[in-house]
Amino acid sequence: MVESIKRVEMGRTHARGGWRAGWFCLASWCCLTGWIAGAGANVAVAVQPPAAESPASEPPTPAPQTAVPSTAAPEAAPPQLEASPTPEPLDAQSAGAAIRDAVGLLRQRVIGPSHERVGLIDDDQWQGAQDPHRWVVLVHGFASGPDAMQALKDRLDQPGIRCRRFAYPNDGPVSESSQLLSRSLRALRQRFPERRLTVISHSMGSLVTRNVLESPELDPGNVDQFIMIAPPNHGSHLAQFPIGLDVEEFARQLQRENLQWIVRNALEGAIGSAQVDLRPESEIVRELNGRPRNPAVRYTIFAGTAGPFTRQEAAAIAEMAQRWTEGNRVMAIIAEQLIAAAASNEVIEGRGDGCVSVESATLAGVTDFVSLPFRHHVISRQLDSVVGQQLIQEIVSRIVL
């Protein structure tokens, strides 16, 4: 891996003009999302009244030859234009929302609008009040979707268990996604008041679910088991980085100077409030960790320890990233996140899964905590492996039937 890091740096040294343009696009994205996080202090907008449209005038009628005394009222004076209103400052939340809306529109123009269904899918899995199976809800993570949970759903399709996936915008605020999940679970409670559910979440889906179950105003009261896989309970440095969810793939594409891959991944599934919420110091992370656990829910956490780098390799990454900061503030925005990730155990073998550290996965009050040597993408890429099969066995053995 150290050799690959050296090759990455060589590729950067001999980069072509198109490659520099790609980094400019990615760095511009980083600047914009960084501004979103702190916007509001110096932002002001002026609401301009729309300009009045002049009505279409008819051709003038020729005046008669004979003078006739006029009885028409004197012509009114033209209306005076009102002065533009004084700009009104926006608070940070409103400013951030306005900028995110603009960036979201840009993303739709570049990537295309999302037609993904929101809410519970797989309607044919549950057969009503008399269904003897345990109902399980699967909640995907950041920069992902319900398709990423398909492999887990297939492997949990065992006697006594039936799963449905929950779909939600993968780049929106945790609070808004939580509202959507709460609404779906409350609808189930109304239809099947005696039914109890298991929720299994991956990555950011754990924060979304926790915000539901640990908020009295959102808790539907029909979930009695919650299983988290690779949850960033204390945030993640790499999760906020557009391509940081797969460090090795990032290194390969950087070496290949794959401009299309870098720009697309900087836009698709990586622009929005979710990245802000995943930061270790984010407001939602602090708020969630200041709450008690739901006493009516049985919690389980699975944390991965198959980080892709050794301590020495992570130090080499940090050293390389540090050189990026020399005389280039734009590159420093990217480099600082890589340096923080290398120092946080997220990418260290035995200490993290490549995106979330074992420390970040821990949660006060949860004693059923299991560490296994899987990577962060275990749900979509590793379930056929030995450790993936072990994870499935551990989950099935805990599902309340």
Give the integer Cα–Cα distance in Å for 392 and 75.
85
Instruction: Tell which wins on pLDDT, 265 or 396.
Output: 396
Query: Is 374 within 8 Å of 135 (Cβ atoms)?
Result: no
In a domain, 72, yes or no: no
pLDDT above 70: percentage of residues in the chain: 58
Q: How large is the average pLDDT for residues 193-221? A: 97
Burial (0-12, 13-18, 19+ Cβ within 10 Å), 278:
buried
Residue 113 corresponds to which tokens in the numbers above?
């609008």
In a domain, 273, yes or no: yes
| Number of domains comprising the chain | 1
In a domain, 315, yes or no: yes
Phi and psi, residue 219, nearest 5°: -65, 120
Q: How large is the average pLDDT for residues 137-144? A: 90
Query: Is 137 within 8 Å of 200 (Cβ atoms)?
Result: yes
pTM of the complete model beyond 0.75: no
**The pLDDT of residue 347:** 86
**The pLDDT of residue 375:** 92
Instruction: Tell which wins on pLDDT, 364 or 314.
Output: 364
**The pLDDT of residue 340:** 76
In a domain, 75, yes or no: no
In a domain, 8, yes or no: yes
Instruction: Tell which wins on pLDDT, 67 or 393.
Output: 393
**The pLDDT of residue 139:** 97
In a domain, 47, yes or no: no
Q: Residue 16: which residues within 8 A CB-CB, separation 6 or more?
A: 257
Residue 210 has pLDDT above 90, yes or no: yes
In a domain, 121, yes or no: yes
Give the integer Cα–Cα distance in Å for 260 and 71.
74
Q: Which domain holds residue 165?
A: 2-40+98-398
Name the residue type at position 202: H
CATH number of the structural domain spanning residue 216: 3.40.50.1820
**The pLDDT of residue 380:** 87
Burial call 88-98: b when 16+ CB within 10 Å, e when fewer = eebeeeebbbb
Q: How large is the average pLDDT for residues 367-374? A: 98
In a domain, 45, yes or no: no
How confident is residue 88, by pLDDT bands cut at 50, 70 and 90?
low
Residue 316 has pLDDT above 50, yes or no: yes
**The pLDDT of residue 265:** 53
Per-residue model confidence as pLDDT tens digits over 237-264: 876 554 444 555 655 554 454 545 544 5
How confident is residue 101, by pLDDT bands cut at 50, 70 and 90?
low
Enclosing H/E stretch for 237: none
**The pLDDT of residue 67:** 45
Per-residue model confidence as pLDDT tens digits over 18-32: 333 343 344 444 444
Residue 160 has pLDDT above 80, yes or no: yes
Q: How much is the mean pLDDT over the chain? A: 74
